Amino acid sequence: MNNLDKRRFAASHGVSDEEYERVLEVLGREPSMTEIGVVSAMWSEHCSYKSSRVHLKKFPTTGPQVVQGPGENAGAVDIGGGLAAVFKMESHNHPSYIEPYQGAATGVGGILRDVFTMGARPIASLNSLRFGAIDHARTPYLFHGVVGGIAGYGNCVGVPTVGGEIYFDASYNGNILVNVFTVGVCKKDEIFLGVARGVGNPVFYVGAGTGRDGIHGATMASAQFSDQTEEKRPTVQVGDPFREKLLLEACLELMKTDVIVGIQDMGAAGLTSSSVEMADRGKLGIRIDADKIPVREENMSAYEMLLSESQERMLIVVERGKEDAIARIFDKWELEWAQIGEVIAEQRFEVYEKGELACDLPVSLLTSAAPQYDRPRKRPAYLDALKPAVIDAPDDLGQAFVELMASPNICSRASVYKQFDHMVGIGTVVRPGMGDAAVVRIPGTEQALAITVDCNSRFCYLDPREGAKLAVAECARNISCVGATPLGITDCLNFGDPTHPEVMWQFSEAVEGMSEACIAFDTPVVSGNVSLYNASFDKDIYPTPTVAMVGNFSRLLEGPGRAQGYCDASFKGEGDRVVLFGRTDTNDIGGSEYLWTRAAQLGQRPPRLDLELEKAVQRLVRDSIAQGLLLSAHDCADGGLGVTLAECCIGAEGHALGLNIEMDIDTIARADLFLFCESPSRIVVSVREADLSALVSQAEAAGVPSTVIGTVTALPRLVWPGVLDLPTGDLQHAHKHGLSRLDA
């Protein structure tokens, strides 16, 4: 191949002309084709974070609780008892659009490996999904494929999927989002890192054999979808959750020995990125003999082996002289393994193919010397064209309420989470649908974690900075509603095409907003993921900086009949009093589900967030739960106070109760806006009548506005005299069947 052809070859791999010049300059020679493949993968947006790195530096990433910050396979926070929670979120957006089942399944596989590669046994997963409009032709297919893939993979591996979120919006018609999160637990001083140390130490490949699947996956995730995507389409990666389970057990078993120097899973850009990143962290090099790599297809070239994204594989640097443990354990678990190379002193990535050096690159070329861009930013013009919301009060408030409950973004997700094994591991204390965050007991302890994921991308579209803040705030509020204390976050920054200055403006704003909120809640960012080029035919998705948060309970006390010290969302019994903490501003209607479903408007701005009030409300709720004062707690989010009250009445198990609203309607100008605006920092709680005055005075002392909403009734009706009188069953029915049109 001549030099011009090489340049074209590089361009076809997404390496720009300037980038290619840079390679020539650093290398001082023309790269081989194999080397071009390696460079293109490592310099892809997906692996190099070249457009986002300058912004990500702004994140707060430290704190006394941080055990491992960004940069490793996953982050870790101290959860007490000598334990760490290890967690991360990953996107698998592009593969899932092409093949929803396998795309989502392999996304789950990848995030599980990111966590257990650190030595932590995964104890729970979440997912955050965005599909196109519910009536878009492709939505049902993508939806069922993705949900099926998450179920198929996670259930088989035996990690419970305990929560998540799903939104439908036309902005995702041509580019869905599939973000998956896993948390695991290990001793905080027994974390394994992806680092190559010790010159001469052997490098082992373990797991499944390498095939031709997913070659160029990383480059594909670094470009927009277009008509040509079809041709560039790599062989789809097919997940094998069974082998993942074996790999999980084998790795954890190996970790109990003292043979591992460093370990890392092969994710995007497979063997290349795992070896290069491990070498980079250890400031050493790695030499690989491609002919030793276990393969499952014939005649594979080094180029293909290096770029394959076959699933369920790991790379392990083992202490020399202790190699036997690999054979013993990986044979036992019926997995492939091979010593494929060694750690070398020169900081180079060397790959031999049939005795010849097919790739000989400085590690730094692939890491620190990779391009970084501070791409142009511009405030999007659409922001100035936004108009304030105009919405008339409905003739029939009850009817409007029922319709809102059936909205695809609000209705019950039971049909989804029933397909996920959310109980395996016998740790799920608060199940999906029961509370704002999932509560998972840590095996062998009385400790528990609360986890949640959130992002309202309409808010982010209206104002990326405020929207990102609101996402962090809602996560923290969800964690507080179950009684836990927020500890840290991971994120998936899903944005459009970074070559659009408007997208980079959104990105930068969102990162700054998130950072501000993370500092306020003392929840550092310990890991995360960036997914750019979420655009199709030049139309960018709504900015979607998804946040997943982990909180902890020091101890779950077993009381008579059930655990105490936490809360779920449902009302418990007749006569209990219902109190709203926080402030309702009926102008907070922009971006709301009510405005969208009734008037197809976005409005002008998202709800206003007061971080100090938010913190005070959350602290109050956490403290009252710890005191055993609260019977339930549920925040007001999508659909506002009305939907929250309805959900509290419906309850997770269908023991529908009712509510008598006792507020004076004369003080409220518009009941519909009062019920359905989406002011943040609000939590609905219920208490025994006897505890009401104590609770109200605590709120007063904490400087938190509180409103007594009314009284729980055994009669399953939501009654607000003169305003509303609805059978809970009507709301419940609408809620339950909101997604059924996807099955038609």
Partner 1 sequence: MQRARVLIRNKPGVFDPQGKVVHSGLRRLGHESVQDVRVGKVIDLRFASGSPDELRARIERMCSEFLVNPVIEDYTIQFLDEE
Partner 2 sequence: MKVAVVVFPGSNCERDCEHVLENVIGASVVRAWHRDHELPKVDCVVLPGGFSYGDYLRAGAVSKISPIMKAVSEFAFSGGPVIGICNGFQVLLECGLLPGAMLRNRSLRFVCKDTFVRCATERTPFTSGLSLGEVLKLPIAHAEGNYYVDAEELRALQDNDQIVFQYTSGDGEANDGANPNGSIFNIAGVCNRAGNVLGMMPHPERAAEDVLGNSGGAALFASIIHTL
Ligand X SMILES: Nc1ncnc2c1ncn2[C@@H]1O[C@H](COP(=O)(O)OP(=O)(O)O)[C@@H](O)[C@H]1O
Binding site for partner 2 (CB under 8 A): 148, 151-152, 155-158, 240-243, 245-246, 333-334, 417-426, 428-429, 441, 443-444, 556, 558-563, 653
Residue 240 in the binding site for partner 1 (CB under 8 A): yes
Task: Encode 248-301 in three state secondary structure.
Answer: HHHHHHHHCCCCEEEEEECCCCHHHHHHHHHHHHHCCEEEEEHHHCCECCCCCC
Provide the residue count of the chain: 744
72 binds ligand X (CB under 6 A): no
Number of residues that bind ligand X (CB under 6 A): 16
Which of the ranges 99-107, 119-127, 363-371, 496-504 carries the binding residues for partner 1, by CB under 8 A?
A: 99-107
Active-site residue (options: 92, 94, 422, 500): 92
Whether 655 is catalytic is: no
Shortest distance in whole angstroms from residue 418 CB to Mg ion = 19
- C-alpha 1/C-alpha 261 separation (Å) is 40
The footprint of partner 1 on this chain (CB under 8 A) covers a number of residues equal to 21
Nearer to ligand X, 309 or 638 (CB): 638
Q: Taking the complex as a whole, how short is the minimal distance between the CB of residue 144 and ligand X, in angstroms?
A: 13
Q: Please tell me whether residue 417 binds ligand X under the rule CB under 6 A.
A: yes
CA-CA distance, 363 to 368, in Å (whole number)? 8
Nearer to ligand X, 110 or 149 (CB): 149
CB 452 within 8 A of CB 475: yes
Tell me which of 13, 46, 216, 634 is the catalytic residue: 46
432 near ligand X (CB under 6 A)? yes
Q: How far is the CB of 76 from partner 2 (least distance, A)?
A: 22
Binding site partner of 722, from partner 1, ligand X, partner 2, none, Cβ cut-off 5-8 A by kind: none
Supply the minimum distance, in Å, between the C-beta of residue 206 and partner 1: 16
114 touches partner 1 (CB under 8 A): no
d(CA 361, CA 349): 5
Which of residues 590 and 716 has its CB atom nearest to partner 2 in the complex? 716
For residue 637, the partner it binds in Mg ion, partner 1, partner 2, none, with Cβ less than 5 to 8 A by kind, is: Mg ion
Under a CB-based contact definition with an 8 Å cutoff, are residues 74 and 68 in contact? yes
- Phi/psi of residue 533, each to 5°? 60, 30
Is 161 among the residues that bind ligand X (CB under 6 A)?
yes
C-alpha dist (Å) from residue 115 to 396, 458, 523: 50, 31, 19
Report CA dihedral (200, 331, 86, 320) to the nearest 10 degrees: -20
CA atoms within 13 A on the CB side of 190: 16
Angle of CA points 574, 578, 582, to nearest 5°: 170
| H helical segments located in 367-413 | 382-385, 397-405
Which one, 436 or 509, has the nearer CB to ligand X? 436
Residue 207 main-chain phi, psi, to 5 deg: 120, -135
Q: Counting beta carbons within 10 angstroms of the beta carbon of residue 664, is it exposed (0 to 12), middle (13 to 18) or buried (19 or more)?
A: exposed
Using alpha carbons, select from 270, 302, 289 the residue that is nearest to residue 340.
289
Distance CA 612, CA 590 (A): 22
CA distances from 697 to 81, 320, 684, 708 (A): 34, 66, 16, 12
Judged by CB under 8 A, the stretch of 11-19, 205-213, 609-617, 729-737 that binds partner 1 is: 205-213
Choose from partner 1, Mg ion, partner 2, none: what does 423 bind? Cβ within 5-8 Å by kind: partner 2
What letters, b where the CB count within 10 A reaches 16 and e where it falls short, cover 120-152? bbbbbbbbbbbbbebebeebbebbebbbebbbb
Contact flag: residue 254 with ligand X (CB under 6 A): no
Whichever of 637 and 683 has its CB closer to Mg ion, that residue is 637
Chain positions 329 to 358 lying near partner 1, rule: CB under 8 A, are 334
Respond yes or no: is residue 46 known to be catalytic: yes
Judged by CB under 8 A, which stretch of 184-192, 239-247, 376-384, 419-427 contacts partner 1? Answer: 239-247
**Interface positions with ligand X (CB under 6 A):** 127, 129, 161, 163-166, 413, 416-417, 420, 432-433, 436, 637-638
Residues in the site for partner 1, rule: CB under 8 A?
98-99, 101-102, 211-213, 233, 235-240, 242-243, 296-297, 310, 334, 744
Please give the positions annotated as active site: 46, 92
